[in-house]
Amino acid sequence: MSEVRLQLRQIEQDILATGKVDSDHLEALRRELYTAGAVGRPEAEFLVELHKRVQHPNPAFERLFYQAVKEMGTYFFKGEAKYEVGRVFDGGGFRQVSGDSASGAIRALDATTGKPKWEFPLLSPPWTSLLSTAGGLVFGGTEEGNFLALDADTGKLLWDIQLGGAVRAGNPISFAVDGKQYVTTTAGTALFVFGLP
């Protein structure tokens, strides 16, 4: 097994053990593989598989570790990137593996063991973060425009509303005004705010 593949296996074990991703190390290996034209080699294919397990939007942590995950094979590539203020700057990109059916889920893991506790399946890969509350709720959104609340302990759907636009990069936020708690998210180009009972 090559040195790069051993490093990738170690990253995977670290993710499972700690729930944390050393994104700098993963990015360095990704750059090394694709700069060397390693597409199609076992190391590159493993990196594709590793991406299936790690979602870049922020996870949430309250009673368990909650993560929105994408299940999709992905090829990463290096590209020329010019820095522009206020624009995404990633030095490359990715594309989905042709013929791979993509899906998504919200998963809860035991933060001390990394073992799965529950999973709430989604129709497509999510592009938003999660919010967990001390009151036992996990909020998330879908590409289909649903904003939902799950029971933090069981993953059971407690509340769901169709917002009419993809809930994408709309990190849910909770705040209180005069003792009343609210949760907010974006969908499409709109901002939505909901009062909690």
Tens digit of each residue's pLDDT (9 = 90 or more) over 68-121: 888 877 777 777 777 778 777 677 777 777 777 788 899 998 877 788 999 999
Q: How confident is the model at residue 125 (pLDDT cuts 50, 70, 90)?
A: confident
Contacts of the segment 10-15: beta carbons below 8 A, 24+ positions apart: 11/50, 12/50, 12/53, 15/53, 15/54, 15/114
With respect to residue 43, please indicate whether it lies within any of the assigned structural domains: no
Is the pLDDT reported for residue 190 higher than 60? yes
Q: Is residue 46 part of a domain?
A: no
> Model-level pTM?
0.65
On whether residue 22 sits in a domain, the answer given is: no
Q: Is residue 27 part of a domain?
A: no
Give tens-digit pLDDT for 141-177.
999 999 999 999 999 999 999 999 999 876 899 999 9
Q: What is the pLDDT of residues 102-113, one digit of tens each?
A: 888 999 988 777
In a domain, 117, yes or no: yes
Work out how many domains the chain is built from and give that number.
1
d(CA 159, CA 139): 9
Confirm whether 124 is domain-assigned. yes
In a domain? residue 91? no
Mean pLDDT, range 54-66, rounded to an integer: 63
**E strands, the chain, in order:** 60-61, 65-71, 74-78, 92-96, 103-109, 116-122, 131-132, 137-141, 146-151, 157-162, 173-177, 180-187, 190-195
pLDDT for the residue 21: 57
67 domain-assigned: yes
More confident residue, 53 or 153: 153
**What is the distance between the alpha carbons of residues 143 and 123, in angstroms, rounded to a whole number?**
8
Domain containing residue 128: CATH number: 2.40.128.630
pLDDT band at 53 (very low <50, low <70, confident <90, very high): very low
Q: Does residue 7 have a pLDDT over 70?
A: no
172 against 25, higher pLDDT = 172
Structural domain of 170? 56-72+100-195
